[in-house]
């Protein structure tokens, strides 16, 4: 299983406790995390104004330095500490470590931003088989060996596809994809695209939905967009919102 958590959840100690209690029951889990709030706080302290385009952070040299510090330092350490306290053998890694995630730099206005093109699935499986829970920050290397900022949703999708995971779970505070304020139990690809085009699915959720569809198209068996309570329901074999399907 691959679980993606957002940076805002890392600010919540009770969330980390609950995540640890859930993850400790699964034998082989890879976690991919973001770190937006941490990065924003660092940017503010350093006087660097964050810019976003289509839900993704525009990354220049200064912003990349902030992302490296925030993601591989603060966010990663906070996550790993919270999991270890619950008995999880968590390892804080990034896509850079051992070349676990390979990327190419995207063209356009996003700057030093990459898209995943390959994952060392065997390396990640070796870690999970040894009883460890890899916790990946999305900072990765590009084709020329340059550091690139990568959207954590895209990394999670690539990791799940590369490992042919039985399930990819995006944990969010909303508890699923909302339509008229209500989490939807299940949405197909056509419905998702229509909701994105109409603006019902907002900018922050769009990368998750796009990543969910990409993972399914790449052979991942199931994809859920839910919250911590939904993850526990899923663990117990109960339905939870929102399952994305093709």
Q: Which two tokens stand for residue 89?
A: 């053998």
- Cα angle 94, 117, 231 (rounded to 5 degrees) comes to 60
Active site residue 74: no
- Distance of alpha carbon 143 from alpha carbon 140, whole angstroms: 10
The residue annotated as part of the active site, out of 18, 34, 70, 208, is 208
The residue annotated as part of the active site, out of 4, 92, 175, 176, is 4
The answer to whether 147 and 112 have CB atoms below 8 angstroms apart is yes
Active site residue 153: yes
Cα-flanking dihedrals φ and ψ of residue 132, to 5°? -95, 155
The residue annotated as part of the active site, out of 153, 162, 176, 230, is 153
What DSSP designation does 96 have? T
Active site residue 36: yes
Active site residue 41: no
The residue annotated as part of the active site, out of 6, 18, 36, 74, is 36
Active site residue 4: yes
The residue annotated as part of the active site, out of 6, 7, 34, 111, is 7
Per-residue CA distances from 237 to 117, 230, 231 (Å): 33, 10, 10
- Distance of alpha carbon 53 from alpha carbon 108, whole angstroms: 11
DSSP letter string, 139-206 = -EE-TTS-EEEE-HHHHHHHHHHHHT-SEEEEE-TTSS-EETTEE-SEEEHHHHHHHHHHTSS-TTTH
Per-residue CA distances from 131 to 24, 25, 125 (Å): 10, 12, 10
Instruction: Name residues whose C-beta falls within 8 Å of residue 149's C-beta, 6 or more positions apart in sequence.
Output: 57, 59, 63, 64, 67, 112, 113, 114, 138, 139
Q: Which residues are catalytic?
A: 4, 7, 36, 153, 208
């Amino acid at each position: 299983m691959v679980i993606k958590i957002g940076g805002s959840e890392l600010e919540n100690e009770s969330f980390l406790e609950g995540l640890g209690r859930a993850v400790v029951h699964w034998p082989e889990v890879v976690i991919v995390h973001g770190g937006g709030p941490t990065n924003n706080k660092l940017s503010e302290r350093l006087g660097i104004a964050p810019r976003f385009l289509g839900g993704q952070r525009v990354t220049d040299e200064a912003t990349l330095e902030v992302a490296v510090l925030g993601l591989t330092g603060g966010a990663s350490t906070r996550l790993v500490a919270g999991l270890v306290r619950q008995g999880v053998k968590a390892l804080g890694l990034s896509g850079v470590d051992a070349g676990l995630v390979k990327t190419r730099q995207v063209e356009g206005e996003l700057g030093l931003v990459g898209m995943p093109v390959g994952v060392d699935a065997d390396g990640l499986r070796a870690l999970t088989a040894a009883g460890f829970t890899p916790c990946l920050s999305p900072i990765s290397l590009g084709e020329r060996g340059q550091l690139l900022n990568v959207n954590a949703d895209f990394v999670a999708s690539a990791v799940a596809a590369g490992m042919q995971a039985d399930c990819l779970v995006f944990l969010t505070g909303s508890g699923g994809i909302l339509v008229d304020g209500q989490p939807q139990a299940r949405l197909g690809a056509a419905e998702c695209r229509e909701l994105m085009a109409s603006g019902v699915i907002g900018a922050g959720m769009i990368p998750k939905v796009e990543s969910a569809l990409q993972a399914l198209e790449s052979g991942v068996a199931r994809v859920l967009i839910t919250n911590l309570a939904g993850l526990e329901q899923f663990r117990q074999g109960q339905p939870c919102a929102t399952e994305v399907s093709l």
